[in-house]
Structure 1
Amino acid sequence: MEKQWFTISVYSENNVGLLNRISGIFLKRHINIESLNVSKSEIENVSKFTVVVHTTEIWVQRIVQQIEKQIDVIKAFYHTDDETIFQETALFKIQSSLLFDERQIQNIIKESHAQIVTVARDFFVLAKTGRRHEIDEMHDKLEPFGIMQFVRSGRIAVTKDTMPITELLAEFQLEN
């Protein structure tokens, strides 16, 4: 079976140690986590882990089954890139003089649809939101000028189809 990109969504209670246990599931199977984001979800008191992996569908199914066995996990899902809408954000810290001295920097900002977040005497910070390849492309264009600092977020994603998690939680709350 061919490897592809999968986004795993894990809905859980927000308890200490769960991130460590979830990452251990990937470690045991020698599957690298390409991106990880944890935030509150659309459901009160429920956190959402968004994990991106490059593996086969059989392996992602096994991983999701193992994740769901964790006590604090409510439900886990996996989706292909075609089934999700996703973005990443990156920040680039660049020497301030380049903003004024290098016309090409201004062109890169405009062509990349990046935003200037702040300008200080010694540096300025750009923010770029988009797909991984768009951020990589901007990074490659800025690299020859010197990037003082660079950071990229994990993937954030929503599914194109309705997620059944809200209905599952409603049923669970009725039972208890």
Structure 2
Amino acid sequence: MKRSFTITVFTEDQTGLLSRVVGIFNRRNLNISSLTTSASSDESIHRFTIVVEVTEEMVIKLVAQLDKQVDVLKAFYYEDKDIVYQEIALYKVPIEVFSNGNQVEMMIRRHNARVLLIEPEFVVIEKTGHEYETEALLTELRQVGLYEFVRSGRVAIVKPMERLNSYLQEIEAGVES
């Protein structure tokens, strides 16, 4: 049965690595729902956070394939219950939507969003949360007027202590023996 999994891939920061990582998913004809890259807690290590909807058997194979890549230090996978995650969404709406009373202001408050920028022609609104939360605000803003919308990929922190640090300590202990 297909489920949502978040894969974290820890790598050295090397040019071309993103295309190799994404290529693993392309060769298996898998859609990536979300992809973000960033620094990690160790400044020499880069982190990919990838969300896919696959079977557990498939995610195990994906992680094993990722682990085999040169410059990949280690890959892990998690179910949603094992992580804390968020996305950020930005909405550009016409300034005129604020002239019809306080409907949009109340909408922003109800969704725990905030105004980032006010310009003569438009307003930029920010919302952080899970995808269903950013989608809910998107649906409402489309009804009053929307110029632009963009949502980031998932950023996630695992609930158990970071497994990468344990893995690196095991490697160092093995090298010293």
Aligned twin of 1:27: 26
Does the alignment pair 1:3 with 2:2? yes
Task: State how far apart, in whole Å, the 2-side matches of 1:149 and 1:161 are.
Answer: 37
- How does the TM-score come out when normalised to structure 2? 0.95
Q: How many equivalent residue pairs?
A: 175
Does the alignment pair 1:133 with 2:150? no
Aligned twin of 2:17: 18
Instruction: State the 1:45 CA deviation.
Output: 1.0
| Counterpart contact for 1:8–1:52, Cα < 8 Å | yes
- Taking a change above 3 Å as real, the CA distance of residues 104 and 164 of structure 1, as seen in their structure-2 partners, is same
Q: How does 1:54-93 map to 2 (within 5 A)?
A: 54-93=53-92
Instruction: State the 1:170 CA deviation.
Output: 3.5
SS of the aligned residue for 2:139 comes to helix
Instruction: State the 1:30 CA deviation.
Output: 1.1
- Taking a change above 3 Å as real, the CA distance of residues 24 and 102 of structure 1, as seen in their structure-2 partners, is farther
Task: State how far apart, in whole Å, the 2-side matches of 1:56 and 1:98 are.
Answer: 44
Aligned twin of 2:121: 122
Does the alignment pair 1:164 with 2:160? no
Task: State how far apart, in whole Å, the 2-side matches of 1:85 and 1:47 are.
Answer: 19
SS of the aligned residue for 2:70 comes to coil
SS of the aligned residue for 1:161 comes to coil
- How does the TM-score come out when normalised to structure 1? 0.95
Code of the aligned partner of 1:109 = I
Aligned twin of 1:106: 105
- List gaps (5 residues or longer) in structure 1: none
Q: Share of identical aligned residues, percent? A: 37
Aligned twin of 1:94: 93
Q: How does 1:143-154 map to 2 (within 5 A)?
A: 143-154=142-153
What RMSD, in angstroms, separates the aligned Cα atoms of the two structures?
Answer: 1.3
Which moves more between the two structures, 165-174 or 60-69?
A: 165-174
- List gaps (5 residues or longer) in structure 2: none
Structure 1 runs, 4 residues or longer, greater than 4 Å off: none
Instruction: State the 1:173 CA deviation.
Output: 4.7
